[in-house]
Structure 1
């Protein structure tokens, strides 16, 4: 015990501000990696890799296995080159988020007419979502923000029509030509319908209480992971309304909470709007929280 105390004192005596900065930077890198792979399939893989590394380290340090130790020492460095391949989707998503952070938040400066037009569009979407929910008609509405969604618009049927509850109700009426796929709303217009969205590769929905989630919910998470768009989903099975953004989903919303969240995303903001919107997102939904 005294030896351990002396060793700790020796370490603290050698600490300086550069050492502290070094430790903080390493901690931030590890924290960023954990946040990046949180709620993804890569998290399970990362746990497995950590367990294997710990197990091999204990085995080679406790037992004198020369051939096995030589094999591990020469194999582990080569496995490091596989990390970019294994975690490619998460690395790509992190770089995209970093690029979006540098581009600033949309709608920082708006005139009064633009604000009123956006509020009218949001009200029409909320009204349509409430009616679709009451009728249990499935729907997926994507609201474009800063990221361009033209690649997804090309997969659907272009409309360029005004956003009205009646139009959205007609599009998502069962068995009509446009009811499958997503509606993309941009610049206060229904730009296209029947659009194909990327499906989420994360395991968030698999760990939710209702595991049998449809393609609409997976597509809403997928587009929120691939862009900064906001997705509004109406369940065909239960009629519940959900919203997805940034790879997260809030479920079982009523029309008032849905409108508050959408207005928070599209309200004129300051440069630090992203943090403010995140805090507001959590404040609006303190008990239910983000679905895992």
Structure 2
């Protein structure tokens, strides 16, 4: 107790800030690698460092201690290389924060065209689901998908239910891969999407999720795009965004979710500012309504 009281006596606001910053960095690292294969790797690295540190401190082994002291700095320098994809995704998310509303600078007619395209996509997904025809439709938002457009066949056609049904009809030349939609245009078909490296699908009790679902999760992890996937085995409809998947959707729920993503927002309702206001609201006491007047 005397040692603890001595520590608290030496604790200043600078020490508290120092501890808070270090804790925040560790929390950010764990938050970035959650639900990924890197989480298991990081757990193994931390466990190895702890075991080696305890072993060298408890047993007097000069040669082994020298080897550990020599190799540990190299391991620390190798961590950014090992976790490069996760660090890249975290920086991309940070760069997208507060980038503005999706509809800034667009006219009301353009917004209505996009919403009408969403209804056509939903109708096509419902009909594909009833026929159990697999499909993957990627809806572009702010991030550029040019590198994935180059892997497919350029169409630049108006969005229509009939065209989507024809593209994803089994054994047609364009049914493999993803359709990329931007605004009211089908930009490309048969595009190759990046596969997800997270463990979301491996932990799922279902076994009906194959490459289409991994590709849908992958493009949602690599960009802010929204992917709609129809399972070929079960006909179920799923949607992915930000590395998360919502499954077993009907046409009504799918349309409501897509329209919510593409609904015009005011500057004060941008997610970045909204998250800040929520954080401030949690820190500051709310009080009664009459106290806030």
Residue by residue over 1:7-57, the C-alpha shift from the partner in whole angstroms, topping out at 9 and shown as x without a partner, is 222222222222222222111111111111111111010010111111112
Contact kept, 8 Å, 1:265 with 1:277, in 2: the verdict is no
Contact kept, 8 Å, 1:105 with 1:146, in 2: the verdict is no
Contact kept, 8 Å, 2:208 with 2:231, in 1: the verdict is no
Report the Cα offset of residue 252 of structure 1. Answer: 1.1
Q: In structure 1, list runs of 5 or more residues that go unmatched.
A: 279-292
Distance in 1 of aligned mates of 2:61 and 2:263? 64
TM-score of the two chains, using structure 2 as the length reference: 0.88
Query: Match for residue 100 of structure 1?
Result: 96
Query: Match for residue 229 of structure 2?
Result: 233
Report the Cα offset of residue 181 of structure 1. Answer: 0.8
Alignment partner of 1:187 is 2:183: yes
Distance in 2 of aligned mates of 1:176 and 1:222? 24
Query: Match for residue 271 of structure 2?
Result: 274
Distance in 1 of aligned mates of 2:217 and 2:142? 17
Residue by residue over 1:194-225, the C-alpha shift from the partner in whole angstroms, topping out at 9 and shown as x without a partner, is 11111112222111112452111111111111
Relative to 1, partners in 2 of residues 1:133 and 1:150: Cα closer, same or farther, differing over 3 Å? same
Aligned pairs for 1:141-290 (under 5 A) are 141-211=137-207, 213-271=209-267, 272-274=269-271
Q: In structure 2, list runs of 5 or more residues that go unmatched.
A: 276-293
Aligned length: 274
Alignment partner of 1:90 is 2:124: no
Quick one: which of 6, 14, 17 aligns to 1:18? 14
TM-score of the two chains, using structure 1 as the length reference: 0.88
Distance in 2 of aligned mates of 1:129 and 1:179? 14
Relative to 1, partners in 2 of residues 1:197 and 1:275: Cα closer, same or farther, differing over 3 Å? same
